[in-house]
Structure 1
Amino acid sequence: MFKNIIKYVSPQAIIFAFYSLSAWFVFSSLGELAAIWSQVFSNEKVMNIW
């Protein structure tokens, strides 16, 4: 089953899938960082430092 799929999939499709997965991980991690930064900056103790 999987061997037949690998035969029909081109290397360009594999590279495209790899880049889309890596981009998805990067954007999800950026979203988590943005949520953490918003929580940090909403804290009054941190705002007093600036």
Structure 2
Amino acid sequence: MQTPLHHAARHNSIETAELLISNGANINEKDKYGQTALYIAVEKILKN
């Protein structure tokens, strides 16, 4: 499962991520691969 926060991280949508977090999104929730949104965001940064 991918949460809206995971989707925002995958698509570099910082404003959306901030909105989701400020409204209570669980930053520790993992997707079906065991990855958090933070992991996804960092992985994208390191690949560039």
TM-score range, shorter chain: 0.3 to 0.5
TM-score computed with the length of structure 1 as normaliser = 0.33
TM-score, normalising length: structure 2: 0.34
Q: Rg larger in 1 or in 2?
A: 1
Task: Give the structure, 1 or 2, with the largest relative contact order (CA under 8 Å, sep 6 or more).
Answer: 2
More helix by share: 1
